[in-house]
Amino acid sequence: MRKKLLLGNWKMNKTRPEAKEFAKGCGEMVEYAVSHGIDVGVAPTFVCLCPVLKHAPKELIVAAQNVNEHDHGAYTGEISIPMLKEIGIGWVILGHSERREYNGETSEACNLKIKALLANDMVPVYCCGESLGTFEEGKTKPFVEEQIRVGLADLKPEEAEKVVIAYEPIWAIGTGKSATKEIAEETIAHIRGVLASMFGAPVAEKIRILYGGSVKPGNIAEYMSMPDIDGALVGGASLELDSYKGLIEGLVG
C-alpha cells in the first residue's frame, strides 16, 4: 500500500516571519494527518527552510525546491546537497515546469541531481508535465514518458522506488483550470506503466505519483479516488493554514 502524500510547494512566497507563523500553526493538522497515516510536507524557499524546521513538528516533511548536483565549488548562487543535509533537509523538488521554463532545467540535469540525492539517502520529488499545446495535440503520454525515461535513467530498481513523481500539466498550474480526475489518472497510470517497464512492476507499484495543478480543498478528494494517484503537489492552496488544513481533510476523506 502506498502512503498518501500532500506536499505544498510554496514557490517564491513567504518571508521568514510568515513561514514561521505557518510552521507554528500547523502542529494540530500535521498530527491529524500523521494519525491517519498520511505524509504531509511543505517546500519553502531556501531562506525559510531553517525557520520551518525549527518551528514545525518534526513529522512535517520539509523539502527544498532545488539543489545542485555538485558537493561544493565555483557555482555562484547554488546550494549543495551537503548544505541541505547539514540543516536537516531530506527531500528536494526537481524538474518543476517553472524551473524548466525559467531556469533551463532539463530532464538530463534532473537525472544528475536525482542520482546525487539518492546517493545521499535523500528523496527526490521529480516533476513532469506537458504544455497546453502538447496536450491539445494529444501528445501528453509520449512527452511525459520521455521526461520520466531521461530523468530516471540508469537508476537501480531499489533506488527508483524511493523517488516520488509529480505529474503537473503546465496548463493546470496556477490557472484554476485543473485537469479532470480522469485525465490525471490516465497520464499517471501511463507513468506507472513506464516505471514498470523500466524497473519492474513490483517497483512501479511502490512509487508514489502525485497530481499537481490547481488542486484545492474542494477538489483534492476527487483525485484521491483514482487508483494510481497517491497525493498532491499543491502551490497556491498550500500557502495558508486554513486551506492547507482543508487539503489534509480532503486527503483523509
**Catalytic residue numbers, as ranges:** 96, 168
Q: Applying CB under 6 A, does 194 fall inside the site for ligand 13P?
A: no
Cell 499517471 maps to which residue?
A: 188
d(CA 156, CA 136): 34
Q: Applying CB under 6 A, does 174 fall inside the site for ligand 13P?
A: yes
User: Could you tell me which residues come within 8 angstroms of residue 251 by beta carbon, excluding any fewer than 6 positions away?
Assistant: 4, 6, 33, 38, 220, 221, 224, 231, 232
**In this structure, are residues 62 and 52 in contact, taking their beta carbons and an 8 Å threshold?**
yes
Which residue among 4, 5, 6, 9 contacts ligand 13P (CB under 6 A)? 9
Residues 77-106 binding ligand 13P (CB under 6 A) are 96
Residue nearest to ligand 13P (CB): 235
Q: Which stretch binds ligand 13P (CB under 6 A): 84-92, 144-152, 190-198, 228-236?
A: 228-236
Which residue among 81, 188, 233, 247 contacts ligand 13P (CB under 6 A)? 233
Residue 111: CB atoms within 10 Å: 22
d(CA 119, CA 239): 31
Q: Applying CB under 6 A, does 234 fall inside the site for ligand 13P?
A: yes
**In this structure, are residues 108 and 146 in contact, taking their beta carbons and an 8 Å threshold?**
no
Q: Applying CB under 6 A, does 229 fall inside the site for ligand 13P?
A: no
Site string for ligand 13P, 150-169 (x = CB under 6 A): ------------------x-
Minimum CB distance to ligand 13P, residue 45 (Å):
13
Minimum CB distance to ligand 13P, residue 229 (Å):
15
Considering the complex, state which of residue 187 and residue 203 has its C-beta at the smaller distance from ligand 13P.
187
Q: Applying CB under 6 A, does 236 fall inside the site for ligand 13P?
A: yes
Cell 478528494 maps to which residue?
A: 221
Minimum CB distance to ligand 13P, residue 215 (Å):
5
d(CA 191, CA 87): 33
SS3 content of the chain, % helix, strand, coil (to 5): 50, 15, 35
Interface contacts to ligand 13P, rule CB under 6 A: 9, 96, 168, 173-174, 212-215, 233-237
